[in-house]
Amino acid sequence: MTRLRLITAAVPLLALVLLGTASGDDYIEARRLMQRGDIKPLETIIEQLGRSHPGRILEVELEAEHGGYRYEIELLDASGRVWELEVDAVTGEILEQERED
């Protein structure tokens, strides 16, 4: 499993989408995958996710697993609960969701 750390900070959504705060190589790899059409842009994934799971994004990682890619997204909901969601980076489908303790 390969992890590309994209964003690590509790930041407003707009800043999260516009800023690449990952290490240089990880951000470049994620951008290359997006430009080739191998994965959906993070902005698109967050928009989709916001309809079913509104909240504040805390962290996003892009993981390469079993020949595919997943976004692992940690978010804080309005009730103060932290959720970890695994989202297919190609389709945007939520594959797993778990509330953190």
Segment 75-100 shows an average pLDDT of 94
Instruction: Determine how many CB atoms are found less than 10 A away from the CB of residue 43.
Output: 14
pLDDT at 70: 93
13/32 Cα distance (integer angstroms): 22
Is residue 86 over pLDDT 70?
Answer: yes
Beta-carbon count within 10 A of 56 CB = 15
Residue 99 pLDDT more than 90? yes
Mean of pLDDT values over 4-21: 40
Element of type H or E holding 36: helix 24-36
Distance (Å, rounded) from C-alpha 71 to C-alpha 84?
10
pTM of the model as a whole: 0.73
Question: Three-state SS for 43?
Answer: helix
- Fold of the 2-99 domain: Nuclear Transport Factor 2; Chain: A, (3.10.450)
Query: In the chain, what are the domain boundaries?
Result: 2-99
